[in-house]
Amino acid sequence: MSDHKEQSKNSDLASATGGLSIEDHQDLCNATKSKLQDLSGDYEDFLNTLSPDVRQRVIFLRKIQNQQDELEAKYFEQRAALEAKYQQLYEPLYLTRYEVVNGVTEVEGTTYESTTDEDTNNSAGKGVPHFWLTAMKNNEILSEEITERDEGALQFLKDIKWSRLEDSKGFKLEFLFDPNPYFKNSVLTKTYHMISEEEHILEKATGTEIEWLPGNNLTQKVLKKKPKNGSKASLPVTRVEVCASFFNFFYPPEVPEDENEIDEETVELLQSQMEQDYNIGSTIKERIIPHAVSWFTGEAASDDEEVTDADDEDEENNEEYDTEEDEENEESDEKTTKEV
């Protein structure tokens, strides 16, 4: 029985840390040691520039830092396992939220009653309409991504989920949709493959290929231009352009296989786009999903505003303090000059 518990514990831990096996962890350690060996030459060169006493103190301090690094590694390992444990505890609550939002389950005290089969199939009086759309629009980061055209499709969004990747570091977002006139997909996914979850270093992101229904692609805008007078063409010229849309989120920036083929300006633009893309994904995972009700009611947005106002006030106070300090320094300098 104890062997089964230990096996289960190890399985949970492996899942929580990105599904790395013991062999994978060993490979990672070996790669890290190899990298440290490459850096050790620079470290020794630097130590040789120090006096013997200072060099001995730095060597001692480095041993202390190594101990702290080992503790930090254990902290991240245990934190991941703890997150995985509580994620499982959250699931029943998320399921109940889904059922209430979508009218699958009714709560006590409501007056809605289904009396006929027709009423049963009519969800107009059930659930919480536009729950996820409203929650997302109340978030400052996501509201900038949602256009007026997007709202029609996002009204059919019935749930958002996230899960850790089993075979690598990272996470996956799932957007569940009711049948709608915009696309065929019932689930749209966005997957983030991470190099380091602790330091938020992104390797790449991938999204679902959306199966748009004819004439309803929200990421494109069709422009029609009338033929010039005297032109032989009788039909208008049609041109398709990419336009702003939340659904561009499922078409993340692609990193070229050969980075040497792109210039520095393009690299900086690509990096900025990837950071913005990850910011949107992590906002949905860490803020919207766990606190969706507070975002729907606007409470979370108000808390955000209070924090922002407090930060702005602190910044203003610091600027005023710096200004007063500069003025005092100027007066002191003038007084010193006169005395001289």
Contact, 280 vs 173, CB < 8 A? no
Residue 84 has pLDDT above 60, yes or no: yes
> Percent of the chain, pLDDT > 90?
47
Classified as helix, coil or strand, 64 is helix
DSSP 158-198: EEEEEEE-SSSSEEEEEEEE-S-SSBS-SEEEEEEEEEETT
What pLDDT does residue 13 have? 37
pLDDT band at residue 38 using 50, 70 and 90 as cut-offs:
low
Residue 271 C-alpha from the chain's centroid: 15
Closest CA to 202 of 176, 174, 165, 175: 165
Q: Whole-angstrom Cα distance, residue 78 to residue 223?
A: 55
What is the pTM (predicted TM-score) of this model? 0.70
CATH number of 128-314: 3.30.1120.90
pLDDT band at residue 23 using 50, 70 and 90 as cut-offs:
very low
Q: Whole-angstrom Cα distance, residue 83 to residue 178?
A: 30
Between CA 158 and CA 161, with CA 159 as vertex, the angle to 5 degrees is 165
Question: Considering the chain, what is the average pLDDT of its residues?
Answer: 80
More confident residue, 68 or 229: 68
What pLDDT does residue 334 have? 57
In the chain, the amino acid numbered 142 is L
Q: Whole-angstrom Cα distance, residue 329 to residue 248?
A: 53
Residue 118 has pLDDT above 80, yes or no: no
In the chain, the amino acid numbered 333 is D
Give the residues across from 191 on adjacent strands: 172, 206
The residue ranges of every structural domain in the chain are 2-80, 128-314
What pLDDT does residue 120 have? 41
pLDDT digits (tens, 9 = 90+) for 265-289: 888 888 889 999 999 999 999 999 9
